[in-house]
Every structure is written in C-alpha cells, then in structure tokens.
A = this chain, B = another copy of it.
Amino acid sequence: MNAADPNDPTLGPNAANHVALTPVSFLARAADVFPDRVAVIHGDWRLSWREVDERSRRLASALTARGIGRGDMVAVMAANTPQMIEAHFGIPMIGAVLNTLNTRLDVAALAFQLRHGAARVLLTDREFSAVMSEALSGLGVRPLVIDIDDPLAVGGERIGETDYESFIAGGDPMFVPPPLHDEWDAIALSYTSGTTGNPKGVVTHHRGAYLNAVGNAVTWAMPHFPVYLWTLPLFHCNGWCFPWTLALMAGTNVCLRRVDAKAILDAIREHRVTHYCGAPIVHSMLINAPAQWKEGITHQVSGLVAAASPPASMIEGMERMGFDITHVYGLTEVYGPAAVCAKSPDWDELPLEERVQRNARQGVRYPLQEGMSVLDPATMQPVPRDAQTMGEICFRGNIVMKGYLGNPQATTESFAGGWYHTGDLAVVHPDGYVHIRDRSKDIIISGGENISSIEVEDVLYRHPDVLDAAVVARPDPKWGETPCAFVTRRDGATVTAEELIAFCRARLAHFKAPRSVVFGPLAKTSTGKVQKNLLRARLKGL
C-alpha cells in the first residue's frame, strides 16, 4: 500500500465519468421525467415535452439523411414558434450549427449572412418569404430550403423544396444522435447588428451554452416548471439560451409571433406566465398600456430587462405595476446577458427612487461567468471603485464566444490581453457594481472633459414629456465637441429645447447639459439600438 497520486493517469476520463457538456441533453431529461407536461403553447396548439423531443429527433434524423452533420450550417428565419424552439435542439443534436437570422433585416444583410455562414439548409417562415426569396436569388449555391408554414403567419408563400412538417415526418422520432464530438464544438452562429460595416459572425459552443442555460436558472433563482413568455426574439443570441433553460426546468414556452402590449398581457393572464425577457421597449409598452388590459393579472411575474442603459423611469414603472424586474447586461459575444444587477435584500428598504437607481446599473458578473472587470485599456488593470474613472468592460470565462467566423483578425483583437473587450465604457461604484457610461465611440469630449452620453440621456428620460432620447457629440470650434440631444416628445407634449436644457442644467454639471436639442424620431437598427452614427451624420448636415 503506497501513496498514490490522485491525479495519476489511471484516474483519467472514461465513458462513465466524462460526457461533453451540451444543453441539448436537457431535452431528453424533460421528455423522460415530465413527458406529458406542456412544453410549448402556440395559439391553440399544445406540445408536450415528449412531442418536442420526438419532433426534434425527427428533425435531427431528417437532416442527417440529407448529409448534414458536424460543423454544417443550418440557417433559420423564423418568428417565435414551436419550430424555432425545436431547431435549438434538433440542429445541434447532430453537431450542426444553428444560424438564426434576424427577421427585421433587409435582403442584402440576409444574403450576406447566408453566404458568409455557408448555410447548407434554410428553414424559413412563410411570413418572411418575400425578403428571403430575394436573398436566396443572389446566392451562388442555393441551400436546401424548407418552409415553416405556420398557420398564424400572415401572408407570404412557400418558397422551399419542402415544408417543415413533411420534412420531419420522414425523420425517426426515436433517432439516437451520435455523441457530441467535443463540448468546444460550435453550437450556433449569430451575426452582430453592427451599426457600420459588415456584421461579424459570433460562433458559440456547446460548453458555453450549457453553462449559460444553467446560469439563467441560478441567476434568476427560477422555480420548477416556469411559464415563460417569448417576448424576446429567439433569433437574438438564441433567446439568451432560454430555450435550453426551459428544458432544464421542464417549463412551458409560450410563443408569441409579434410583440404587442395586448397580446402580451392577455398571454400573461391566460397562461399565468411567470417569466419573460425583453428590451426596454417591451416594458415601456406594458407600462403605457391601458389599465383595463392589465386587469386580472394578480400572480407574480418576473422580467429580465437588458439594455446598455434602461431608463430609470422604466424600472420604476414596472415596479409600480407589481412586476419583479431584474436588470441584466450582455452582448452576443457572451451568449446574451453576462452581468446582472443582483439585488441585495437591503435595497428593499430604500425609497423607490434610490432603489431604482441601484437597479439601473449593469451590476456584477453572472455566477457562472468567471470574470467581469472594468479595465484601463492602456494598462489592462482594473479601474478604482470610485464611480468616476472610466474603463472598458471586459469579460472572461466559459460563457464567451469561440470567436468570429472566418475573421481571425477581429477574433484576436477582441481577445487582446486575455479578456473579451466589449467596447462599452463604464465606471465601478464603491460596492463593485459596474455602471455603463458609453460605447467607446459614443463618448463626448468637451473642453477636454469626458461626457457620458448615457448619463445625459438618463436625465432627459426623467422629463415627463420625453418619450425617447439620444445624445451625441456635435463638433464645436471652441470646445471640440458639445452634447446635442435628439428627442422624441410624447404625443401632444410641447416642451421646448430651452426648457429641456434648463432641466438638464438643474440636474447635471453644466458642461454636460446639451447645448442644442433636435426634435423628431430616432433612427434605430433592426434590434432597436439607436444609430448614433446616423445622428452624428445628420448634425454635419444641419
């Protein structure tokens, strides 16, 4: 009996004690343990977890029969429907890569993604047939096109060689996929909605998707059997990995083709929705909805809101509605949210306004994300926790992309110094919570002083007449730059530029207050981000 080494090679991985992590495995368990529970609701259609499992296996089997396998790209242009959820299981189940397309994009952007990602198969919802057939027409090699012919889709026509239901009908519902080759294998490809230039293709892996799916449940402390409403597009970072989280918790997916306040509130009431995610616009719609639409909703509803800067008024409005809102922050490169403004029970005793201010920060890393830091770009050292010094938000850990598809230079740059660089500038509060100040390129430098456009916007949003606001740099011969506010007023509101400037000067250092105000609607990207580059261009022409 001699001392043995607990790390010796006879104690290495084997088939019994090591399996590649993949979130697809949650589906098999949900189907096995809770086969008859409702997995998906779409209109009058109900699918159990057994059915979702069988249909996903059919999809995997039918794709395999067409020669699709490890590393092959399958693009999906779909609304939040059962087929879109099944695509999150059936495609990665065989090592193929899921490329979800943003349904709001134009022909050129879609054609670029199909070509750049080298899609071999395209699943496409009838409602988007016009734009997709145009996008397909310019491709050298046409993928296998499969229509999703959803009865709830509006208009459009079939443009594919077959339709989804026929296609999977030929697949085996008991199909056993080959074991995943490696948990580092690609699971999905998502193009960023860059405001300039060609979008970059973010490649994520099974390991990260597994950990983020679990992390969602832990971060939100989700109960068993959540009822989750799909207000967030599934094409957006794979719905932040929630299709897999829902399988993990054997919950119910409530589909929603269209974000509409009445439809959301009706679904919450009818299906007793417990959880949903969304951009600030979703929450604003709910706040502004007529009171009678909200009647009858008496159960606890929890929402995640993600934004670089959620207006404090929005968080406050949701609190007043009785919803429990948690603020998260992330990017496609980190699988969706990677930071959470984790609520401390102490905050409950604070006055609403102070509580809202704390909740409006980007916060701290997700528990399963290893590192989040605000770094001085020159030294790569963390900035002091003084709520003043700006640095770049960086992430590291297992919930960070593999890199950008076919773009080694961008990949290398984004990982410089062993951290993923978000391009977002932030300060750190004394309690360690991160607070975004700006995108690197959106910062305003006036008389040598940095001005956070977001800080100014936050003040503008506090004015009751302001519906939407964006602040950008205006070239100035004396100061270099000065802040200019683009503002959309609420219907019927009459606030003047002078009044808004005075409002800001009363609440900000004077040099931070806008010097000029432009009224009108704001240019936005397909994912709802304000296009500050276009606003800056407009200023040159003014």
| Residues of A participating in the B interface, judged by any CB pair closer than 8 Å | 1-7, 10-19, 21, 25-26, 29, 32-34, 70-71, 73, 97, 115-118, 184-186, 189, 203, 208, 214, 217-218, 221-225, 248-249, 342, 344-345, 364-365, 367-368, 370-371, 395-398, 400-403, 405-408, 411, 415, 418-420, 432
Seed contacts A11-B186, A19-B398, A214-B368; 8 additional CB < 8 Å A-B pairs: A3-B117, A4-B405, A16-B420, A17-B400, A19-B370, A21-B398, A25-B370, A221-B222
CB distance from A249 to the nearest CB of B (A): 8
Would you give 25 A-B contacts (Cβ < 8 Å), ordered by A?
A1-B116, A6-B71, A6-B402, A16-B396, A16-B400, A16-B415, A17-B208, A17-B398, A17-B420, A19-B397, A19-B398, A21-B398, A29-B367, A32-B364, A33-B342, A34-B344, A214-B214, A214-B218, A214-B368, A217-B217, A218-B218, A221-B222, A221-B224, A225-B345, A248-B367
Pairwise interchain contact A396-B15, C-beta atoms closer than 8 A: yes
Given the known A-B contacts A29-B365, A364-B29, A402-B6, are A203 and B11 also in contact in the complex, defined by CB atoms under 8 Å?
A: yes
In Å, the complex CA distance between A408 and B11 comes to 8
Main secondary structure of the interface of A (DSSP, over half): loop
Chain B residue, CB-CB nearest to A72: B6
A415 in complex: contacting residue of B17, B397, B420, CB < 8 Å: B17
CB distance from A31 to the nearest CB of B (A): 10
Pairwise interchain contact A32-B71, C-beta atoms closer than 8 A: no
Residue among A17, A34, A186, A398 with most chain B CB within 10 A: A17
- Residues of chain B lying within 8 A (CB to CB) of residue A17: 208, 396-398, 400-403, 415, 420
A189 in complex: contacting residue of B6, B10, B184, B418, CB < 8 Å: B6
- Residues of chain B lying within 8 A (CB to CB) of residue A19: 370-371, 396-398
- Residues of chain B lying within 8 A (CB to CB) of residue A407: 4
Pairwise interchain contact A221-B223, C-beta atoms closer than 8 A: yes
Residue among A73, A406, A407, A420 with most chain B CB within 10 A: A406
- Residues of chain B lying within 8 A (CB to CB) of residue A1: 115-116, 406
Pairwise interchain contact A16-B367, C-beta atoms closer than 8 A: no
CB distance from A204 to the nearest CB of B (A): 9
Chain B residue, CB-CB nearest to A402: B11
The 4 tightest CB contacts between A and B, nearest first, are A4-B406, A3-B118, A15-B418, A6-B186
Given the known A-B contacts A184-B13, A214-B214, are A32 and B432 also in contact in the complex, defined by CB atoms under 8 Å?
A: yes
Pairwise interchain contact B405-A16, C-beta atoms closer than 8 A: no
- Residues of chain B lying within 8 A (CB to CB) of residue A33: 342, 364, 432
In Å, the complex CA distance between A49 and B290 comes to 46
Pairwise interchain contact B71-A10, C-beta atoms closer than 8 A: no
In Å, the complex CA distance between A60 and B70 comes to 43
CB distance from A359 to the nearest CB of B (A): 14
- Residues of chain B lying within 8 A (CB to CB) of residue A97: 6
Residue among A25, A342, A367, A407 with most chain B CB within 10 A: A367
CB distance from A80 to the nearest CB of B (A): 24
Pairwise interchain contact B118-A10, C-beta atoms closer than 8 A: no
Pairwise interchain contact A411-B7, C-beta atoms closer than 8 A: no
Given the known A-B contacts A1-B116, A17-B415, A218-B218, are A203 and B402 also in contact in the complex, defined by CB atoms under 8 Å?
A: no
In Å, the complex CA distance between A364 and B398 comes to 28
In Å, the complex CA distance between A432 and B30 comes to 12
CB distance from A423 to the nearest CB of B (A): 14
CB distance from A300 to the nearest CB of B (A): 13
- Residues of chain B lying within 8 A (CB to CB) of residue A342: 33-34
Pairwise interchain contact A406-B221, C-beta atoms closer than 8 A: no
